[in-house]
Structure 1
Amino acid sequence: MLLHVPEVLTPEELRRCRGLLRDAPWSDGRATAGLQSAAVKNNEQVPPDWSQLPELRAIVLHALERHALFFSAALPKRIFPPMFNRYGGAANTYGNHVDMAVRHTSARQRVRTDVSCTLFFADPHEYEGGELVIEDTYGAKRVKLPAGDMVLYPGTSVHRVEPVTRGHRVASFFWVESMVRSDEQRRLLFELDMNLVRLRREHGETETAVALTGTYHNLLRMWADT
């Protein structure tokens, strides 16, 4: 499932993050890539020892905790600590690749990469190119979102970032290990949850809404690994 998650960050959070990233000591992004990805990766990343990185991560994680749409779609069990990258100038692209199935955090925790996430910090008018292109069964989907918005997509997807030809594309990227491993099952639960929200909005807390809520939670109970 590919999903646009709008307004993850508040305007104040976005301004703070952009201000911090403006002064970041960018380094070679290949340092965190696997063998296949390193051959096609040409971008910059915030180094893991930068003193401002914990604040940036805390802002993003706090924003995710309060975002109901993100929780409904990803059903997070673990979230890999957010990282931050930049495309532009001589380091401006990332060719076709698939994310590693398991990432290891600095605390030696393993995170299965069920869901890939990109949170944008630069608005589309600030740079040319830089589209995130995600291949799925219906063809290539091109994603370029407003600052503060995020896209979720299956970690199994082949994807790339097109060359940035003007300005800089700045984003956060991270992965979610979901309580529900199957992308198809997560999609069904998400669709059921969103339709329950609409049902309650239109008709209130009816017997049908209560019964379908029970169905949702019984499916989640059946499929979830906590």
Structure 2
Amino acid sequence: MVITIADVLSPVDVQDIRSTLAAMRFEDGRATAGWSAKLVKENEQAKEGPALGLLRERVSKAILSNVVFSLAARPKALTPLLFSRYGGGQHYGTHVDNPLMDGIRTDVSFTLFLVDPDSYHGGELVIESVSGEEEVKLPAGFLVAYPSTSLHRVAPVTRGERLVAVSWAQSYVRDSARREMLFDLENAKRGLFATSGKTPEFDLLAKTSANLFRMWAET
């Protein structure tokens, strides 16, 4: 399941984060790529340090507190956020994410956009699936999450600068199809409650949703 989530960060938060990043040093992004991905990765990432630690904590907290992200990803843990920028001509070729990062199994990949799409040309996140390719380029403060098993790439930036935060979640529910079923059930349950209240039908949906999560959850 590929899902876009609006307003994970407010415009004020986005501006503040951009100002913080503007004062930080960046380094070659290949330092965090796997051995084959290094061949196709060309970007920069914020350099490790106290300021980066505080920024990671702030943004991770905003992501984990987002209800839609929580229901879609069922996150157990996040890897440390990477703040990446792409200037003119920079890109990230086709690759699949490492299955383990910092001791965390990567089930869900996500990108949080930090600049508006009209401020740069190119730089689309392209996610491959059996139905074709899906291009994603979202407003600042919006997030896209997708299965880490997917091949994907970042198209070359031809003008301006692409600035994003990326990370990976280990989910309580390893299987992407099961996560999607739980997400659909939760939306159906909440929609029924909004229209009809706590009915016997709602209780059955709530029971089924909870018991499937209990059956599939890995703790």
Does residue 163 (structure 1) correspond to residue 156 (structure 2)? The answer is yes
Match of 1:24, SS? coil
- The number of residue pairs the alignment matches comes to 219
Match of 2:98 among 92, 97, 100: 100
| Secondary structure of 1:94 counterpart | strand
Cα RMSD over matched residues? 1.0
- Runs of 4+ in structure 1 off by over 3 angstroms are none
Q: Give the alignment partner of residue 185 of structure 2, picking from 192, 208, 220.
A: 192
Question: Structure 2: which amino acid aligns with 1:189?
Answer: L
Q: Residue 133 of structure 1: which of 108, 126, 129 is its match?
A: 126
State how far apart, in whole Å, the 2-side matches of 1:203 and 1:16 are.
Answer: 42
Q: How far apart are residue 12 of structure 1 and its match?
A: 2.5
Residue segments in structure 1 that go unaligned for 5+ positions in a row = 105-109
**Aligned match for 1:120, one of 113, 116, 129:** 113
> Per-residue displacement from partner, 1:178-224 (whole Å, max 9, x unpaired)?
00000010011011111111111111221211221111000000000
- Aligned amino acid, residue 47 of structure 2: P
Q: Does the alignment pair 1:203 with 2:196?
A: yes
Letter in 2 for 1:203: S
Contact 2:87 2:161 in 1 (8 A): yes
SS of equivalent residue, structure 1 residue 52? helix
- Give the gaps of 5 or more residues in structure 2: none
1:42 aligns with 2:52: no
* 1:145 partner amino acid: L
The aligned amino acid for 1:134 is: I
Deviation at 1:60, TM superposition (A): 1.1
Whether the aligned pair in 2 keeps the contact of 1:13 and 1:59 (CA below 8 Å) is: no
Residues of 1 paired with 2:106 and 2:169: CA distance?
Answer: 6
CA distance in 1, matches of 2:24, 2:158: 21
For 1:88 and 1:11, locate their aligned partners in 2 and report how far apart those are by CA, in whole Å. Answer: 22
TM value normalised by structure 1: 0.94
Distance in 1, Cα, partners of 2:10 & 2:42: 30
Q: TM-score if structure 2 supplies the norm length?
A: 0.97
Q: Give the alignment of 1:1-226 within 5 angstroms.
A: 1-48=1-48, 50-90=49-89, 92-104=90-102, 110-226=103-219
Instruction: Give identity over the alignment, percent.
Output: 45
